[in-house]
Amino acid sequence: MLRLDRDPRGVVTLTLDRPEARNALSAALVAELTAALERLAADPEVRIVLLTGAGTAFCGGADIGEMRAAGQASPAANEADARRFTRMLECLEGLPRPTVAVVNGAAYGGGIGLIAACDIAIAAEDARLAISEVRLGILPAMISPYVVRAIGLRQARRWCLSGEAMDAATAARIGLLHETAPAAGLPAAVARHVEALLAGGPGAQSEIKRLLNAAAGRDEASDRARSATNAQWLARLRASDEGREGLSAYIEKRRPAWWRGA
């Protein structure tokens, strides 16, 4: 479910490879990606990590069938599932090398978390993005710290509360993306950023990532505590009547019971 390619410069490309499921983050894919990131973090020959998706989507978010099953599992199993997701995001953001999200297509829910956890994000101009959890009757608990750090609280409220899709230009305007390019020009745009990053000292880049976290007032203990609280929050909402109804409605391709739209 995950392809890893490395070039002679130490540029590693991780490709989410579930195109038939819009690269949804199943438990198996989350485990593969987490393990790959842990290995790359320990490899001194790695210079840059690119993250992208196979096919026409970047990442459709969490696997909805598995989300519904987690909500129906025991509280301990439900929370453990959420913790595995946040561990993946921690490994991505904490990687001691520059990371670049190459957003080749649609990104929803957990896919937005992947983008926000990367250092740099570049997208095709026709990509659509949404923090869509609210429309499933749940909340973007695990990705919320990364989203708020990327776009700020005011914008996060607007997009998390509505779950609306935005175009790539809007995502760039609010800070979720750094750059957009025509789909055909995306590789060239990524190559420019790679060349710029390769000009920096790898040790300095690693220290800069730590420095900026410290400058923002972050520390590992508080980050871990927030992640644990958020995992409990998501587990509770998934197990709620509204969460179960929203996830079931999505799978059954119908409007949820709370729908009051036209």
- pLDDT band with cut points at 50, 70 and 90 for residue 14: very high
Closest C-alpha to 78, from 245, 237, 247: 237
Residue 216 lies in a domain: no
pLDDT digit string, tens, across residues 153-174: 999 999 999 999 999 999 999 9
Average pLDDT, integer, range 62-76: 96
* 18 close to 58: Cβ distance less than 8 angstroms: no
Per cent of the chain over pLDDT 70 is 100
**pLDDT (tens digit per residue) in 116-163:** 999 999 999 999 999 999 999 999 999 999 999 999 999 999 999 999
Position 261 pLDDT exceeds 90: no
Short-list 126, 133, 113, CA closest to 56: 126
The number of domains in the chain is 1
Residue 170 is assigned to a structural domain of this protein: yes
Domain presence at residue 217: no
Does residue 12 fall inside a structural domain?
yes
Asked whether 186 and 124 are in contact (CB, 8 A), the reply is: yes
58 within some domain: yes
Length of the chain: 262
For 95-117, write each residue's pLDDT tens digit. 999 999 999 999 999 999 999 99
Would you say residue 212 lies in a domain?
no
| Residue 230 in domain | no
Task: Say which CATH number the domain at 96 has.
Answer: 3.90.226.10
pLDDT tens column, 217-238: 999 999 999 999 999 999 999 9
pTM over 0.85: yes
Per-residue model confidence (pLDDT) at position 123: 98
**The pLDDT of residue 262:** 66
| Residue-range definition of the domain harbouring residue 144 | 2-184
Residues known to be catalytic:
133
Instruction: Tell me if 19 is assigned to some domain.
Output: yes
* Token reading at 24: 């949804």
Longest dimension (CA), the chain: 56
Q: Give the per-residue pLDDT at 232.
A: 97
Which residues are registered as beta bridge partners of 11? Answer: 48
Q: For a pLDDT cut of 90, what percent of the chain falls above it?
A: 99
133: helix, coil or strand?
Answer: helix
Backbone angles phi, psi at 26, to 5 degrees: -70, 165
